[in-house]
């Protein structure tokens, strides 16, 4: 009779047996819940988070995302299709996150059951050949066997060992909290993942620049940038508001730390809800104030030169502070003024210098961050500002395509510039300060902090607690002589058990030979 080697049931000698669907799923589950895969997923999650910190994110600054894509016509659209500008909501990031979550849970649950049984079990009896164990010790004594075992048991219990006793032996084990710490670390990691996910779904944050004397209301339209979780509705933001009454900053003038800020604080009048009385609040760096579950952080500051613009018809079309963004530590700042209502439409690119200096190498620049000698350098443009195209523009950038440059001019406070061609006049009439605030609600932050602390505690327990066993065995040698044998075993790869065996042997020897 012949056998067809091509049938599905035939396999090569030594090859793996064929797997059915259930066997394949069990194999996949074992792979997913292995520690190796969990570490790989954790590493992948760290790598996947990098684009979220390097590239602008659509949820926080959609205008920067648009500018980045336009400035990189090859890579921009490709990265956008792959979700790199909304990393934490991308399907591939969620897949890594969920797989890590499942992997850690699948790793912890069976180990918890095993550890629970081990915690309730008694230490095992000594192996047959104790002389092969680390820290082997043996001696003889004239004490009876029962006396030796009684004293061995009492000594080990006094040193907080878990003890079990047999007819001619005592077994002791210590260090159960090592595995407890390991499981605690993994459970805390699960809680940390849940906390981060909860904060990402229900948290929100936004940034806003507020000039002195102006206010802010917690509505979506007043934020310069805002990003919220998938389950957050902008309609449910806390209804508080505040006014920036005064902003104070003082800079170091000594040579050692010249230009470093010595004081950085803002006085606010806060109204927790419409119709409520205002509260005076002072905000400093790293000292936010809390209102209705949200925290308001002071994160930056700068200057807002007050510019007065008259168009060709003599109308005042702008008279207000213009926010300029600092570009270096001496607050050399750039800003833009757009006036679509002027006749003709006018735009200005500006460079503000708190303490102005000009040289042939660096050109106009600031040499100190305080407004000791302020000046603003303006480049005037006339033409279509592109605001009617429907495409959002940054208020800090001027698109000059299709516009005509009118000229350049430097202004000190109180000076004005008659624009060429009779296109109007612009004057530098004063100086204001602005402060930038970050307003955030992160309900997962406190649970995440607690989880991280518990994880650190569990990690320290698993690293510094040693799981080990010690055995004492006695045998009657006759003529009133008892042979005592001690040995130990370290349950982990690192560490030595000889010290514990020596301590048990020394204490037992001193007691039995006394």
Report the range of poorest mean pLDDT among 154-163, 321-330, 425-434, 498-507.
Answer: 498-507
DSSP SS3 for 401: coil
What's the pLDDT tens digit per position in 31-55? 888 878 888 988 998 898 888 888 8
For strands 215-217 and 241-251, give the pairing: antiparallel
256 and 241 together in one domain: yes
Going by C-alpha positions, the residue among 514, 493, 503, 477 that lies closest to residue 137 is 503
Residue 11 has pLDDT above 60, yes or no: no
103 and 132 together in one domain: no
Ranked by mean pLDDT, the top range of 8-12, 105-109, 157-161 is: 157-161
Question: Mean pLDDT across the stretch 183-196?
Answer: 89
Phi/psi for 464 (5° steps) reads: -105, -15
Residue 63: pLDDT band with limits 50, 70, 90: low
The token pair that represents 274 in the structure block: 């419409």
Report the range of poorest mean pLDDT among 12-16, 245-249, 337-341, 387-391.
Answer: 12-16
Residue 9 has pLDDT above 70, yes or no: no
294 and 318 together in one domain: no
Residue 8: pLDDT band with limits 50, 70, 90: very low
Q: Tell me which of 497 and 413 has the higher pLDDT.
A: 413
329 and 419 together in one domain: yes
Question: Mean pLDDT across the stretch 447-457?
Answer: 94
286 and 269 together in one domain: yes
For strands 289-291 and 294-310, give the pairing: antiparallel
Going by C-alpha positions, the residue among 220, 271, 273 that lies closest to residue 62 is 220
The model scores a pTM over 0.75: no
Structural domain of 144: 124-174+467-512
The token pair that represents 414 in the structure block: 């109180």
Ranked by mean pLDDT, the top range of 61-70, 201-210, 357-366, 373-382 is: 373-382
Question: In the prediction, which pLDDT does 14 show?
Answer: 54
356 and 404 together in one domain: yes
Residue 15: pLDDT band with limits 50, 70, 90: low
Domain ends where: 428, 453, 478? Answer: 453
97 and 211 together in one domain: no
Residue 33 inside a domain? The answer is: yes
Question: Mean pLDDT across the stretch 263-271?
Answer: 91
Residue 176 has pLDDT above 90, yes or no: no
Residue 10 has pLDDT above 60, yes or no: no
472 and 503 together in one domain: yes
295 and 314 together in one domain: no
What's the pLDDT tens digit per position in 66-117? 778 888 888 888 998 888 888 877 889 889 988 988 888 888 888 888 888 8
The token pair that represents 232 in the structure block: 């957050």
The token pair that represents 243 in the structure block: 């006014």
Residue 73 inside a domain? The answer is: yes
* Percent of the chain's residues with pLDDT above 90: 41
Question: Mean pLDDT across the stretch 345-357?
Answer: 94
d(CA 404, CA 345): 11
Q: Tell me which of 318 and 498 has the higher pLDDT.
A: 318
Residue 180 inside a domain? The answer is: no
Q: Total domain count for the chain?
A: 4
Question: In the prediction, which pLDDT does 2 show?
Answer: 43
Residue 472 has pLDDT above 70, yes or no: yes
d(CA 181, CA 236): 41
Half-sphere exposure of 170 (CA within 13 A, CB side): 26
Contacts of 178 (CB under 8 A, 6+ apart): 461, 462, 465, 466, 467, 491, 492
CATH of the domain at 482: 3.30.310.80
Q: Tell me which of 492 and 175 has the higher pLDDT.
A: 175
d(CA 469, CA 133): 11
Residue 20 inside a domain? The answer is: no
94 and 86 in contact (C-beta within 8 Å)?
Answer: no
- CA–chain centroid gap for 310, Å, is 49
Residue 403 inside a domain? The answer is: yes
424 and 407 together in one domain: yes
Residue 4: pLDDT band with limits 50, 70, 90: very low
Domain ends where: 65, 96, 115? Answer: 115
Beta strands in 311-368 (DSSP E): 316-321, 325-326, 333-339, 346-353, 356-359, 363-366
49 and 151 together in one domain: no
Residue 18 inside a domain? The answer is: no
Longest CA–CA span in the chain (Å) reads: 126
391 and 284 together in one domain: no
Residue 369 has pLDDT above 50, yes or no: yes
d(CA 223, CA 270): 17
Q: Tell me which of 424 and 32 has the higher pLDDT.
A: 424
Residue 461 inside a domain? The answer is: no
Residue 273 inside a domain? The answer is: yes
Within 10 Å of residue 6's Cβ, how many Cβ atoms? 6
Residue 269 has pLDDT above 70, yes or no: yes
Cα distances (angstroms) measured from residue 120 to each of 108, 179, 340, 490:
18, 13, 79, 20
Burial class (CB in 10 A: 0-12, 13-18, 19+), 235: exposed
Q: What is the average pLDDT value for the chain, to the nearest integer?
A: 87
Question: Mean pLDDT across the stretch 12-35?
Answer: 75
Question: Mean pLDDT across the stretch 196-222?
Answer: 90
């Amino acid at each position: 009779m012949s056998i067809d080697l091509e049938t599905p049931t035939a396999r090569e000698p030594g090859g793996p047996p064929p797997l059915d669907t259930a066997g394949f799923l069990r194999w996949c589950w074992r792979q997913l819940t292995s520690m190796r895969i969990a570490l790989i997923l954790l590493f992948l999650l760290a790598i996947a988070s990098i684009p979220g910190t390097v590239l602008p994110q659509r949820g926080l600054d959609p205008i920067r995302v648009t500018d980045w894509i336009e400035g990189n016509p090859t890579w921009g659209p490709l990265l956008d299709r792959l979700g790199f500008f909304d990393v934490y909501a991308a399907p591939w990031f969620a897949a890594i996150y969920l797989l890590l979550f499942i992997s850690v849970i699948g790793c912890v649950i069976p180990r918890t059951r095993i550890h629970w049984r081990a915690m309730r079990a008694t230490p095992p009896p000594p192996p047959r050949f104790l002389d092969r164990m680390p820290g082997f010790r043996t001696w003889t004594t004239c004490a009876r066997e029962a006396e030796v075992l009684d004293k061995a048991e009492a000594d080990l219990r006094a040193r907080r060992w878990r003890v079990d006793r047999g007819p001619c032996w005592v077994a002791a084990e210590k260090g159960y909290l090592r595995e407890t710490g390991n499981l605690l670390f993994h459970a805390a990691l699960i809680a940390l993942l849940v906390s981060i996910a909860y904060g990402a779904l229900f948290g929100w944050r936004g940034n806003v620049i507020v000039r002195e004397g102006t206010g802010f209301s917690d509505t979506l339209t007043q934020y310069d940038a805002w990003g919220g979780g998938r389950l957050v509705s902008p309609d449910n933001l806390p209804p508080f508001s505040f006014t920036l009454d005064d902003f104070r900053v003082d800079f170091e003038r000594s040579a050692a730390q010249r230009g470093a800020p010595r004081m950085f604080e803002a006085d606010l009048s806060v109204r927790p809800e419409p119709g409520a009385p205002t509260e005076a609040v002072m905000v400093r760096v790293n000292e936010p104030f809390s209102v209705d579950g949200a925290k308001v952080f002071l994160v930056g500051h700068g200057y807002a030169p007050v510019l007065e613009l008259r168009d060709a018809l003599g109308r005042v079309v702008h008279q207000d502070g213009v926010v300029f963004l600092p570009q270096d530590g001496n607050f050399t700042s750039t800003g833009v003024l757009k006036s679509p209502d002027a006749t003709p439409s006018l735009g200005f690119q500006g460079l503000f210098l708190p303490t102005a200096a000009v040289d042939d190498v660096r050109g106009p620049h600031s040499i100190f961050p305080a407004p000791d000698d302020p000046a603003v350098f303006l480049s005037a443009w006339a033409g279509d500002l592109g605001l009617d195209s429907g495409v959002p523009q940054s208020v800090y950038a001027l698109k000059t395509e299709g516009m005509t440059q009118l000229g350049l001019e430097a202004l000190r406070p109180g000076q004005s510039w008659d624009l060429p061609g009779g296109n109007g006049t612009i004057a530098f009439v004063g100086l204001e300060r602005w402060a930038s605030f970050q307003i955030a609600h992160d309900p997962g932050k406190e649970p995440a902090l607690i989880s991280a602390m518990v994880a650190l505690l569990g990690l320290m327990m698993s690293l510094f607690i040693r799981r080990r066993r010690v055995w004492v065995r006695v045998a009657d040698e006759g003529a009133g002589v008892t042979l005592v044998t001690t040995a130990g075993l370290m349950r982990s790869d690192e560490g030595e058990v000889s010290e514990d065996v020596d301590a048990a042997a020394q204490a037992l020897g001193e007691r039995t030979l006394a």
